[in-house]
Amino acid sequence: MEPIISLKKLGRSFNAESVALKNIDLEIQKGEFVCIIGTSGSGKSTLLNMISGIDKPTEGSITKPANVAMVFQNGALLPWFTALENVALVIESQQKTLTKKAVQIEALKYLELMNLKLFADKYPHELSGGQRQRIGIARALAVNTEVLLMDEPFSALDTATTIELHTELIKIWKETGKTIVMVSHSIEEAVTLSNRIVIIENHTVGHIFPIEIPLPRHEQSVQFMSEVNKIRAVFLKK
Ligand code: ADP
Ligand code: MG
């Protein structure tokens, strides 16, 4: 089967001293949920930016769908627009023939999916971090692409909210069949969510771990803990 994303000998340098990524060979299959982990500055965001098309490689090649959606760390919402308007904007920009009413109905559908219907008319500053991040996810889903990219989407949230959003993300992933590539700084989060964990090391792909534990995964299970420990040992080189 053709991979939906294919990176070949991909590299990104900002200048002679600053190599963010080098020699990345990676294929991602349709419907996979891949988590990227690595130390700070290892090139994770650069990798996602290249898959999204925000940034371009300086070496190698990339094959990917023309349009991909991205969820950022802090929601990246427009502060002077309501929750509904933030989602409506992307729908409007994609489907220019829709009436204003049809756009609103469509936007509301995505807010509902993220349990945000009651907050449609609120502005970002009136919402909690978790709610803002839900809007960021609703907006990315509204872009209606096969590939969903997420750059540390839950790292600013408390544990209970994160667990809640993990459950919702898995549900969405199962229902939509989207391909998800998510950067995480947490091994536990990566083991909770993904099919495959890619460790970025020395600015290239260091290790790849397939995760075969059935969903939903429980942090207390022996299988889960042994997987986390295995990855931690490699990650921390112990
Ligand atoms: P991560 O997301 O893993 O923390 P990044 O992908 O943001 O890492 O950055 C990887 C490396 O590339 C870092 O050393 C960073 O300083 C460098 N870098 C990222 N963006 C730029 C830029 N626009 N100009 C110069 N260097 C950059
Ligand atoms: Mg980053």
Rg (CA), the chain: 18
Indicate which residue's Cα is closest to atom 20 of ligand 1. Answer: 46
Token pair 């408390």 is at which residue?
158
Total count of domains within the chain: 2
Domain final residue, candidates 118, 144, 170? 144
Same domain flag for 135 and 161: no
List ligand 1's pocket residues with C-beta within 6 A: 14, 18, 20, 38, 40-46
**C-alpha of residue 40 to centroid of ligand 1, in Å:** 9
What are 39-83's pLDDT values in tens digits? 999 999 999 999 999 999 999 999 999 999 999 887 789 999 999
Residue 97: which H helix or E strand, with range?
A: none
Answer yes or no: are the C-beta atoms of 21 and 60 closer than 8 Å. Answer: no
pLDDT of residue 74: 75
Q: Are residues 28 and 100 in the same domain?
A: no
Kindly state whether residues 150 and 238 are assigned to the same domain: yes
Residues 109 and 53 occupy one common structural domain? no
Q: Are residues 57 and 12 in the same domain?
A: yes
DSSP string, 35-84: EEEE-TTSSHHHHHHHHHTSS--SEEEEE--S--EEE-TTTT--TTS-HH
Measured CA to CA, the distance from residue 35 to residue 33 in angstroms comes to 7
> Cβ(4)–Cβ(28) under 8 Å?
yes
Query: Which structural domain, as residue segments, surrounds residue 101?
Result: 76-144
In this structure, the residue with its CA closest to atom 25 of ligand 1 is 14
Verify that 39 and 154 share a domain, yes or no: yes
Which of residues 144, 170, 203 is at a domain's end? Answer: 144
Cα(156) to ligand 2 centroid in Å equals 13
Same domain, 117 and 228: no
Q: Supply the residue whose CA is at minimum distance from atom 10 of ligand 1.
A: 43
The pLDDT score that the predictor gives to residue 238 is 58
Residue 236: its pLDDT value, please? Answer: 84
Atom 12 in ligand 1: residue holding the nearest Cα: 20
Distance (angstroms) between ligand 1 centre and the Cα of 217 equals 32
Does residue 191 share a domain with residue 231? yes
Minimal-distance CA residue to ligand 1 atom 21? 14
Rounded-to-integer distance, Cα 171 and Cα 174, Å:
5
- Interatomic CA distance for residues 133 and 175, integer angstroms: 20
Phi-psi region of 131 (alpha: psi -120 to 50; beta: other; left: phi over 0): alpha
Q: Are residues 158 and 49 in the same domain?
A: yes
Q: Does 11 share its domain with 64?
A: yes
Query: Taking each helix axis from N to C terminus, what angle separates 129-142 and 83-94, rounded to the nearest 10 degrees?
Result: 20
By most ligand atoms within 8 Å of CB, the mutation choice from 45, 151, 200, 235 for ligand 1 is 45
Amino acid identity of 4?
I
Identify the segments of the chain with pLDDT beneath 50.
none
Which of 35, 43, 10, 13 has the alpha carbon at shortest distance from 24?
A: 10
Whole-model pTM? 0.94
CATH number at residue 162: 3.40.50.300
Ligand 1 atom with the shortest distance to the CA of 19 = 12
